[in-house]
Amino acid sequence: MPDKPRLTREQIAQRAAMELPDGAYVNLGWGIPNLIADYLPKGITVYFHSENGILGMGRRAQAGEEDFDQVDAMKVPVTLIPGASFFHQADAHLMTRGGHLDVAVLGGFQVSEKGDLANWKIPGAKGSGGIGGAMDIAAGAQKLIVCMEHTTKEGAPKIVKQCTYPLTGLACVDTIITDLAVIDVKPEGLAVREIAPGWTLEEIQELTGAPLITNGRVSEMNFV
């Protein structure tokens, strides 16, 4: 594996933030996606959705202003932005499943070339595992982005021909943003849109478990 710098988790989040349109209703999952709210481009308002019944979450609450009845899906006290609302969990998931969210961003263990996602259980891991809202979100978001490292800690590809981990959903991923590339899942294959500075497409293909294609020009990942 080439020993070259890759994007940090924060830089992946920063790049993903650029995919969010002004005024969008957006759900952010655990892991890298949870960092995205800190990197919204200036002048953009996004209404962040939480599965426990909040639309319009603002920044995390600072010390002294926390209200533990107003927490996000990770139990962290949050603030609200003007226009926010509360509702119960069934309506929160009616929004995820019913196609009402413009964009959802989830973490991933594996994504297949067909856009299948595995993100809730590592085979052989101890304990019960837990699904949470991931399957509802994967099934229903208008656009599903997965943010993850391109390879496992051991260097194995996380973008694969077929997922071997327990699945979250079939053919649900639209775009994959990793520490090496931005890739769109298209009917004709995994189309590379951008690659990390200093890397070549051939080097990234080496670290990918399914064939990559390009639709014309591939540009350098931009995350500032």
Partner 1 sequence: MRRKVFANLDEVVADIPDGARIMFGGFGGAGFPNNLIRALARKGVRNITAISNNCGTGEGELGLMFKNNQIRHVIASFPGPHAKYFQERYAAKEVTLELVPQGILCERMRAAAAGLQGFYTTVGVGTEVADGKEERVLSDKRCILEMPIHADFAFIKAQKADELGNLTYRLAARNFNPIMAMAAKTTIAEVEEIVPVGSIDPEHVITPAIFVHRIVQAKGLRYAG
Q: Using CB under 8 A as the criterion, which residues of the chain lie in contact with partner 1 when the complex forms?
A: 50-54, 67-75, 86-90, 92-94, 96-97, 116, 126-136, 139-140, 166-170
Q: Tell me how far, at minimum, the Cβ of 166 lies from partner 1, in Å.
A: 6
Q: Is the distance from CB of 181 to CB of 221 less than 8 angstroms?
A: yes
The bridge status of strand 103-107 relative to strand 159-160 is unpaired
Please tell me which residue in 10, 19, 51, 194 is annotated as part of the active site.
51
- Side by side, the strands of the sheet bearing 110-112 are 117-118, 110-112, 159-160
Known active-site residue 10? no
DSSP letter string over 162-201? Answer: S--SPPSBSS---EEE-SSEEEEEETTEEEEEEE-TT--H
Coil, helix or strand at residue 28: strand
Least Cβ distance, residue 172 to partner 1 (angstroms): 9
Cα 98 to Cα 106: distance, rounded to the nearest angstrom: 17
In the complex, least distance from residue 120 CB atom to partner 1, rounded to whole angstroms: 9
Q: Extract the tokens encoding 114.
A: 């067909």
Least distance in Å: CB of 191 to partner 1? 23
**For residues 18 and 139, which CB has a smaller minimum distance to partner 1 in the complex?**
139
Known catalytic residues?
51
